[in-house]
Structure 1
């Protein structure tokens, strides 16, 4: 099977890399991505989008991770645009998606609950009484205070899980995150919502694939940063990269990064839940170890807040937590 991306997806990756190369650290990356038309990659063609779906979004998110760019791409595209493009009606898509494509509106999803990442049967409840309302708590919601609308998983009155959308502001309290992405605890108390449908698994799959794509890029970016440092830093008259012990540790990071890349690519290509679970477990297991090695190889420079490595390690830490962590992901892998 040929897993190579088609020309359109490769073009998205190339353009995203070019845009982020100049804007990643300036605070203008998000408007620049919008101006380049990259935020419309997953919009259907009837909304002037490219219709590239998960493949286009993951290509963009990988470059976002490679640059460790502090932009709301994961929240808006993987947590918002992809499920809305899949589950919303044509009328709802026309109302909700164009603002995200121009960068004027942010989207997000409230998926996790206290000690329950991606719950199959959410504790947040949905009631239908002259319209749907939601009650309960979600945690670790990225950009919740800034988002124009929020995709929410909840359990309806019939006991079945379903997907809802809260259109407008939510009750959001800031919570801790390692990196630059703002996260919130969101409380619903009779909050009006619109029901999209029962496909909670699809929303979780989009979110996990998006996080894996960003993590794939972040590992690659950290590896590039580390190898460049080792090639330029000298000890005893030789570059650090020339020492066998150092070369062996870099090789371990390379193997971890390439394996995460291949597992993520496979999961995105097939869309099969078992492939997604395997890729998520491998990322949660290997990414923190690889980042620790990158920090070790940088020595004291690696913990300098003015040096970019911390952006990669904090991003990876947040992504591992977002996917549920090693133990949670291993429990989901079917043997």
Structure 2
């Protein structure tokens, strides 16, 4: 495992960072949140058309750039650092889950297609060129949460990330992956108020809605991918939250000297730096693991747990060390705090496996 970026990856990060900073000068975070779509559409257009962020982790066979998931992870980390709202999380999640489809679904003309089934390949191509936004709605394991009747779905899935802006909703029922168009009859998407205003959540309600079967996929893989993506948002945001806090402590004076000169505050910031650096390492490790043929789910779970705790601690200390200004609506501290708690809950994975699972693996 190589914990260093290649020259191309460094250039990608620098390009995305510069673009976000430049665009923020004309459209700030709050303006993007308050817009109809909930994100800066001009920024998103540039990210997709000029940088091709939606195509990074898609093979060239399906119209993508042919990079690994790691490149998409790095972009997510930069977007997370500035809390930049965008539909990239749901779209990358969808593209990764589609690529996890097991081939072998007969094509409409009879013989099986090499690689992905034709509907899945077509969806990947549309995601790659930026013409279609997508997300994934994993159904609850409880029986009856979603019923399948031929090519029709009936049921409801709540807390679906990026559902309000997605063109296609991928619904996982048991081990089957279906694609539902948001304009299809019987499909209704109700936006859900979220703690974090930079994220868009929605409830997907299907009533005998037509759906295209894309193939079979491991339901746990959806959570694995989603958890890995959350670590990117968390690691990036934790880094900038600490940077902004340290900058404030250098500027703010009390008792005739900068707050950052007090030893007790130095120690607190040093502890936070350890949290930030280890979270970044864990996040990159999870991204590398996800790019492997058989990712270690336990490593991803550990990374999600660590990054969630680290970001929550940094965000809490950001508010404490900023003092009274941090609890004002105009300051961004509360946005980082809300992002920390929201991402900790999304795609949550257990920190400890059930005893019976551990025993089963031990007995082999």
Question: Which category of TM-score, normalised to the shorter sequence, fits these structures?
Answer: 0.7 to 0.9
Instruction: Work out whether residues 256 and 286 of structure 1, in 8 Å CA contact, stay in contact via their aligned partners in 2.
Output: yes
CA distance in 1, matches of 2:309, 2:139: 20
Deviations 1:16-37 (A, max 9, x none): 1121121243623212212322
TM-score, length of structure 1 as denominator length: 0.86
Decide which of 197, 202, 209 is 1:184's aligned counterpart: 202
Q: Please give the residue correspondences for 1:49-198 in structure 2 after superposition, counting only pairs within 5 Å.
A: 49-77=64-92, 79-87=93-101, 89=116, 91-111=118-138, 113=140, 119=141, 123-129=144-150, 131=151, 133-155=152-174, 161-169=175-183, 170-179=187-196, 180-195=198-213, 196-198=215-217
Query: Structure 2-normalised TM-score?
Result: 0.80
Q: Name the counterpart of 1:116.
A: none
Q: 1:158 maps to which residue? A: none
Distance 2:117 2:154 in 1: 27
Instruction: Show structure 1 runs of 5+ residues with no match.
Output: 114-118, 156-160
Q: CA deviation at 1:146?
A: 2.0
Counterpart position of 2:43? 29
Deviation at 1:12? 2.3
Provide the C-alpha distance between the structure 2 equivalents of 1:69 and 1:263, rounded to a whole number of angstroms. 22
Separation in structure 1 between the aligned mates of residue 61 and residue 334 of structure 2, nearest angstrom: 41
Residue of structure 1 equivalent to 2:14:
14
Larger Rg, first or second structure (1 or 2): 2
Give 1:247 shift. 1.1
- Alignment of structure 1 residues 248-267 onto 2, 5 Å: 248-267=267-286
Q: Kindly tell me: are residues 280 and 332 of structure 1, through their superposed partners in 2, closer, same or farther at Cα, counting changes over 3 Å?
A: farther
Q: Does the residue aligned with 1:330 lie in a helix, a strand or coil? A: coil
SS in 1 for 2:164: coil
Query: Residues 248-272 of structure 1: CA distance to partner in whole angstroms, max 9, x if unpaired?
Result: 2212221221221111111111231
Name the residue aligned to 2:106: none
Pairs within 5 Å for 1:208-247:
208-247=227-266
- CA apart distance, 1:320: 0.9
Aligned 8 A contact 2:56 2:69 in 1: no
For residues 193 and 7 of structure 1, do their structure 2 counterparts lie closer, same or farther at Cα, with a shift above 3 Å needed? farther
**Structure 2: stretches of 5+ with no match in the other structure:** 33-39, 104-115, 291-295, 359-364
Shift of 1:279: 0.7
Summarize deviations over 1:35-84 as a string: whole Å, max 9, x none. Answer: 3223321222134422113111101100000111011111111x222222
Q: Distance in 1 between matches of 2:96 and 2:265?
A: 42
Given that 1:284 and 1:329 are in contact with CA atoms closer than 8 Å, whether structure 2 keeps it comes out as no
Contact 1:295–1:309 at 8 Å: present in 2 too?
Answer: yes
Aligned partners of 1:58, 1:122: CA distance in 2, in Å? 34
Q: Higher mean Cα deviation, 18-27 or 251-260?
A: 18-27
Checking the alignment, whether the CA contact within 8 Å between 2:94 and 2:170 is kept in structure 1 is: yes
User: Relative to structure 1, is the Cα distance of residues 46 and 198 closer, same or farther in structure 2, using a 3 angstrom cutoff?
Assistant: closer
Shift of 1:299: 0.8
Aligned residues: 318
Aligned residue for 2:165, secondary structure, equals: coil
Q: Deviations over 1:170-192 (max 9, x none)?
A: 32222221222221122223222
SS at match of 1:329: coil
Aligned counterpart, 2:351: 330
Q: Please tell me whether the aligned partners of residues 23 and 32 of structure 1 are also in contact (alpha carbons under 8 angstroms).
A: no
